[in-house]
Amino acid sequence: MPFIAKNKQTGDRVNILEYQNPREEFQKGDLVCLFCDGELIIVAGFVRMKHFRHRQNSPCKSDYGRHPESYEHLFFKKLLSEKLSQESSEYLNAEPILEYPIPEAKRIADIAFQFPNGWLVVHEVQLSSITTEELQKCVV
Chain residues binding Zn ion by CB under 5 A are 33, 35-36, 38, 60, 62
Tell me how far, at minimum, the Cβ of 84 lies from Zn ion, in Å. Answer: 27
Tell me how far, at minimum, the Cβ of 63 lies from Zn ion, in Å. Answer: 10
Tell me how far, at minimum, the Cβ of 57 lies from Zn ion, in Å. Answer: 14
Instruction: Work out whether strand 107-114 and strand 95-102 pair parallel, antiparallel, or are unpaired.
Output: antiparallel
Closest CA to 102 of 64, 136, 58, 56: 64
Secondary structure E strands in 18-106: 31-32, 40-43, 51-54, 95-102
User: Of 31 and 111, which has the nearer Cβ to Zn ion?
Assistant: 31
User: Of 62 and 114, which has the nearer Cβ to Zn ion?
Assistant: 62
Cβ proximity of 5 and 34 under 8 Å: yes
- In this structure, the number of other CB atoms found within 10 A of the CB of residue 95 comes to 12
The C-alpha atoms of residue 124 and residue 111 are separated, in whole angstroms, by 7
User: Of 42 and 84, which has the nearer Cβ to Zn ion?
Assistant: 42
Strand partners, 6: 13, 32
Tell me how far, at minimum, the Cβ of 62 lies from Zn ion, in Å. Answer: 5
User: Of 52 and 113, which has the nearer Cβ to Zn ion?
Assistant: 52
Residue nearest to Zn ion (CB): 33
